[in-house]
Structure 1
């Protein structure tokens, strides 16, 4: 899942234009969730909206023109949840259940979705700038909120990981991250839940680090913050669908550790910087061992191999690592033997962002990052669609 701090650095005008307050976000008078017209089914394509290939296995689940969506999670009963962070937009429902015809329902309720001056003294009870929705193997829905609206700075006391029951919306657990774990310039990005050991593993993309949380004690540790595997590859210009990712000053995008995946047996945590072409892994037992120094932990980091620049990661029971290739508008995977396979290439995959697996289907969300103003000399590109697709689980 993409971290995109240069959006905040691109100027206050963008944020002011969307009604986004960096200190406390007030819901705008407009409601983009209901006002955004559903994207029509497009089989012929236009200059800005590509056509669906005749043989594409992708099925459109939902599409939005606003606000920007970055993540999707599907629970075993089939409920679909999406994440709309407070970046350039100020969504009314930053976490929502997705219904038929692109409808959205606030999750777990409207109060949690509200963030303004009236609730600023309750940062652990409201979504400030949620970044990730993730289901665990028991079907519980976890929401990771780095609490950094506009990708600027964290709201004091706001960074949190929240466990909920999607059947009834009940909040079951809230993990608060202190500033020593989530500094003011941090951006907690993605999370995987290890139910076998009762731990959570997170990427922190703002400065570059892993965060490990003991879900029994609710204590967290910030790890490997100085390790090269946590940092963007210097000098690399990443591209999305042929578009070089350059900020408003013409500098290449530098995105730190981002994608994360937990092996099915909970033995390895896989991860990668978004600006980079290397896939790394480390044994989760090492991450859980508080007696190891960072230097000792660093020696446990393995380079798995070369991969295309990717945003989201996932892994299956056969240890295939799934990649979202924004450069190729494709969904790909790396086999244990190191072969990179293309599962589907479809120009409608406008920056494929994150995966969600169910027993029979693979879901993916697109965030169209490369079409936003921050990466186009201050002018958003037409035709940006924020979509959820699904397809049969590849064999």
Structure 2
């Protein structure tokens, strides 16, 4: 256990901001989403703006008087809600082998439609702390009402980024999941597997955590979410939250924007059941795919060489393991955030419990790194 909180807190730049945050109890929906570690050892955490009042959506963890606090990254100005040219709501992001951060901005705040220009890919150089590029994701690629840009993987070898759109941006209405492919060279996007069975929720799917139904007041419906790229960059793996299967597709088909959409749809492989629902995934440089286990309360691994799924680790405090990543020292880093309790109506989370939100680390082997480092 690296860090833990009963609720998130920030290293605020001024007292009024801190006072407002505490008076309105905005921490009650401040959920640590994606977790990553850069080459300098800094730990980052995204906090999506699924409700109003989240101080900063992209953050670096700093310690003050022995307490872990979040600090807006790359700055407070870059996290100003309402300014579509800066970060609005971030869940998924990636740090590549060049120490560049690819930030996926969902655009929407509190599930309102994404304003034009708010959905984007922001590329930030962590070595020089400078903006390299900001690329708008247009309406025809990710509809502003239904889109829910979730996570991404980066292939610098071929010059592509793959993005999951969970399609649940309009709660209570239609789900429109899909995969988005970005070509770095031509700076163009293509949407594939739109509303394909593998990117939608599994029909009538319900699941429990600790024998408690996830969301008492409404069915949970989340399409394509977890995404992982094989070490050789040839296979894209993905899964929906409301389902247990792992799916894959050949990236050669995705990289060619002339490949017919029907051919891509017909080429999807159901790899098999993980035996658990999953949120985040991440592949290592050896070809293994690490996946979070929501029902299993931990992290599992799929080994393509043997076609086997197995549980790696578990703990009763690992309630809703969201994201998994790698440090530079042979460990996986992952977080648990009790999403199902925080966003239940009414909330079922005990805010006095010191281990509601946890960042974990586990050694998995010498030389084990992210897929981006595979030669």
Q: Are 2:312 and 1:343 aligned?
A: yes
* Partner Cα separation in structure 1 for residue 149 and residue 215 of structure 2: 23
- When the two chains are superposed, the root-mean-square deviation of aligned CA atoms in Å is 2.1
* Partner Cα separation in structure 1 for residue 109 and residue 308 of structure 2: 39
Q: Check 1:317–1:279 CA distance in 2 against 1; reply closer, same or farther (3 A cut).
A: same
Residue 309 of structure 1 corresponds to which residue in structure 2? 277
Residue 364 of structure 1 corresponds to which residue in structure 2? 334
Q: Is the 8 A contact 2:52 2:109 kept in 1?
A: no
- 3-state SS in 2 of match to 1:230: coil
* Partner Cα separation in structure 2 for residue 346 and residue 97 of structure 1: 26
Q: CA deviation at 1:341?
A: 1.9
Match of 1:94 among 57, 65, 69: 57
Runs of 4+ in structure 1 displaced over 4 angstroms? Answer: none
Q: CA deviation at 1:236?
A: 1.5
* Partner Cα separation in structure 1 for residue 28 and residue 318 of structure 2: 14
Q: TM-score, normalised to structure 2's length? A: 0.83
Higher RCO (CA 8 Å, separation ≥ 6 residues):
1
Q: TM-score, normalised to structure 1's length? A: 0.79
Q: Is the 8 A contact 1:66 1:386 kept in 2?
A: no
- 3-state SS in 2 of match to 1:150: coil
Residue 20 of structure 2 corresponds to which residue in structure 1? 30
Q: Are 2:292 and 1:324 aligned?
A: yes
Provide, for residues 163-195 of structure 1, a one-character-per-residue CA deviation record: whole Å limited to 9, x for no partner: 111234211111111100110210111000100
* Partner Cα separation in structure 2 for residue 241 and residue 73 of structure 1: 27
Show structure 1 runs of 5+ residues with no match. 1-26, 37-63
Match of 2:152 among 170, 191, 210: 191
Q: Is the 8 A contact 1:68 1:89 kept in 2?
A: no
Residue 149 of structure 1 corresponds to which residue in structure 2? 109
Show structure 2 runs of 5+ residues with no match. 1-16, 168-175, 367-375
Q: Check 1:223–1:353 CA distance in 2 against 1; reply closer, same or farther (3 A cut).
A: same
The 5 A counterparts of 1:229-248 are 229-248=198-217
* Partner Cα separation in structure 1 for residue 19 and residue 179 of structure 2: 38
Q: Check 1:29–1:148 CA distance in 2 against 1; reply closer, same or farther (3 A cut).
A: farther
* Partner Cα separation in structure 1 for residue 73 and residue 256 of structure 2: 35
Q: Is the 8 A contact 1:146 1:154 kept in 2?
A: yes
Residue 69 of structure 2 corresponds to which residue in structure 1? 103
